[in-house]
Amino acid sequence: MDYVSTRGAAGVADFRRVVLSGLADDGGLFVPQAVPQYTPEQIGSWSWLPFDELVWRVVSPYVGGAMDEAAFRALLSDSYRDFDHRAITPLRQIGHNEWILELFHGPTQSSKDFAAQLQARLVAHFLPQQQGRALVIGATNGESGLAAIEAFADCANAQLAVLYPEQGVPPAQLAALHQANPQQVALIPVAGSFDDCQTLVSRLLRQWPLAEVTPICFNSTNWVGVLAQIVYYFHAALQLGGGTRPVAFSVPAASFAEIYAGYIAQKMGLPINQVIVSTNSNDALHHFIQRNRYSTRQSSRTSSPAMDFSLYSNLERFIWELYDHDGHAVRALMEHFEACGELSIGNQQWLRARVLFDSHAVEELQIREEVLRLFAETGAAVDPHTAVGALSGRIQRRSLGAPMVTLGQIAPSKSAGLLAELGVWPGPVAALAEPDEVRTGLQTGDLASLIQALRQATQARP
Ligand SMILES: *Cc1c(COP(=O)(O)O)cnc(C)c1O
């Protein structure tokens, strides 16, 4: 499989290069030049496959000749070893033809484990063939950083740098981040928002200062992060519809990668009749889908913090699809967006997006009401992010005939405090220890100090 950049000026790369990458050389994101496509009969014949076998079918065309089959199959089986549910992504019914796809049975109990576990093993596989060392870097509101730290713990060649907003990470996740091995992981608080962290990372990658160190993005800015998420759309649709009956998904917008992965799954031939982009009151994506106006804005803090931001790097991949792989058009749009924080696409492209996508924004009080309703009607204590998706799914549903699947990205135990407050949490709530060290964050424009921190981090080890 050949990969190119969304901005059309970086040449062709193979899967290995894509795994070991931050951004493409022209500042764009790597995308597969063509998506493999299957007939309903072919997809239907995968219905009985166990999870790791299904993953192999879905993912192997994207790897191409970069790895031999036996090694890749072994790597895949190993990636799901530490999940605590046999089905890996079990479905829980919450209503008539309504379901939650539980994506939080991995080692750090969020859907980020799918990307991180696969990515760490791929990096460990490809890195020894490469000179020098790697720095795995990214921005987090909590979940993707934790998943990366867990997944890369055994990858001796990789150092990690995790940028996070000083005020944006929930206390439990912050405490967990601080459990990381300081020899391997540099935690870098930023005096700003998630968007500020993400902007710093992008600027850094565009002028990478450490010649002897390969930068690799840990969240789904890296294509592997998208790839890992295509799989669970297949798993859910095959369980519920056998690959022939249309299925709808509601996706809490904790990144655009998960939403874009649904689009790719549909393009591969999976019968998906609707994808709902569900946001909390930080509704930049909702505005984009509803009115073709996307703008970054100050995010407010909510009970669903993994969705408290407005900068979605994978939107660029989606726009590249909508513009029929026209890298020059994407570059112009993204440079305009980077300069003024606003983006609208052509009407024709926007209408194409609307064939599959709807959106809905849920207010804070509605989230609590939905958590209570789901508990009263099903006995399930559902995490607030998932509640956003479930409510949007019910409101925006196009067809009662198609199963509606909400992606459950984060385990309810991570919101035990709020759920206990609402009276729906069955167990005790653990008291949280404050992290020992509270450092003041980097200023949002301070690239020089960030580079200094990374120099230290990559020299920390002999
Ligand atoms: C997951 C993800 C985010 C959000 O990161 P969290 O650590 O889950 O807050 C942002 N951007 C991308 C590309 C992601 O994959």
What letter does residue 221 receive in the DSSP assignment? T
Instruction: Look up residue 24 and give its two tokens.
Output: 């493409």
Beta strands, E only, 223-262: 247-252
Output the CA 115–ligand 1 centroid distance in Å: 11
Output the CA 254–ligand 1 centroid distance in Å: 6
Residue type, 372: L
Ligand 1 in reach of 195 Cβ (< 6 A): no
Instruction: Look up residue 80 and give its two tokens.
Output: 């799901």
SS3 at position 125: helix
Residue written as tokens 């703008």?
A: 295
Residue written as tokens 């008291």?
A: 431
- Contact present, 9 and 320 (Cβ < 8 Å): no
Pocket probe mutation, ligand 1, options 220, 226, 230, max atoms within 8 Å of Cβ: 220
pLDDT at 436: 62
Output the CA 132–ligand 1 centroid distance in Å: 27
Atom of ligand 1 nearest to the CA of 142: 7
pLDDT at 270: 98
Q: Using N-to-C axis directions, what is the helix angle for 347-356 and 315-322, rounded to 10°? A: 110
Q: How open is the CA angle 123-124-129, to the nearest 5 degrees? A: 85
Stated pTM of the model: 0.96
* Cα–Cα distance, 328 to 315 (Å, whole number): 16
Q: Which of 205, 209, 186 is nearest to 461 (CA)?
A: 186
The DSSP annotation for 375-399 comes to HHHH-----HHHHHHHHHHHHH-S-
Ligand 1 in reach of 202 Cβ (< 6 A): no
pLDDT at 462: 44
Q: Which of 133, 116, 121, 123 is nearest to 461 (CA)?
A: 133
pLDDT at 460: 63
pLDDT beneath 70: ranges in the chain: 433-438, 460-462
Q: Using N-to-C axis directions, what is the helix angle for 51-63 and 69-79, rounded to 10°? A: 130
Alpha-helical segments (H) within 69-111: 69-79
What letter does residue 335 receive in the DSSP assignment? H
Ligand 1 in reach of 313 Cβ (< 6 A): yes
Residue minimizing CA distance to atom 5 of ligand 1: 140
CA-CA-CA-CA dihedral for 214, 216, 222, 227, to nearest 10:
100
Output the CA 163–ligand 1 centroid distance in Å: 11
* Cα–Cα distance, 160 to 169 (Å, whole number): 18
* Cα–Cα distance, 59 to 46 (Å, whole number): 13
In this structure, the chain runs to a length of 462
Instruction: Look up residue 97 and give its two tokens.
Output: 């033809």
What letter does residue 169 receive in the DSSP assignment? S
Q: Which of 150, 152, 107 is nearest to 134 (CA)?
A: 152
Instruction: Look up residue 438 and give its two tokens.
Output: 């509270």
Q: Which of 22, 13, 450 is nearest to 217 (CA)?
A: 22
pLDDT at 438: 64
* Cα–Cα distance, 184 to 457 (Å, whole number): 8
Report the greatest alpha carbon distance in the chain.
60
Give the strand pairing for 247-252 and 3-5.
unpaired
Ligand 1 in reach of 271 Cβ (< 6 A): no
Q: Would you give the end-to-end CA distance of the chain in angstroms?
A: 37
